[in-house]
Amino acid sequence: MVGGYFASSVGWESTSYIVIATIEESLEIIGLAMFAGFLFGYLVELVPGTSARIAR
């Protein structure tokens, strides 16, 4: 919503809009990654004998 406000007031190609849109999208991706991590953690606690790890 902040990005939409800035786009309508200062324009789509302004530097401030680009910075705000980048921050907004980054926070969405971080939130999605956190949600997935918490979801896997909950699954491990919910089902006994399960484990989850990230392979390298």
pLDDT in tens, 5-53: 778 888 878 888 889 889 999 999 999 999 999 998 888 888 888 777 7
Q: Which residues contact 11 (CB under 8 A, 6 or more apart)?
A: 17
Instruction: Extract the tokens encoding 44.
Output: 């491990």
- 52 in a domain, yes or no? no
Instruction: Extract the tokens encoding 21.
Output: 């849109």
- Closest of 23, 31, 26 to residue 6, by C-alpha: 23
Which domain does 42 fall in, by range? 2-46
- 41 in a domain, yes or no? yes
- 39 in a domain, yes or no? yes
Overall domain count for the chain: 1
Instruction: Extract the tokens encoding 51.
Output: 């484990």
- 21 in a domain, yes or no? yes
- 20 in a domain, yes or no? yes
Q: Record the pTM.
A: 0.71
- 53 in a domain, yes or no? no
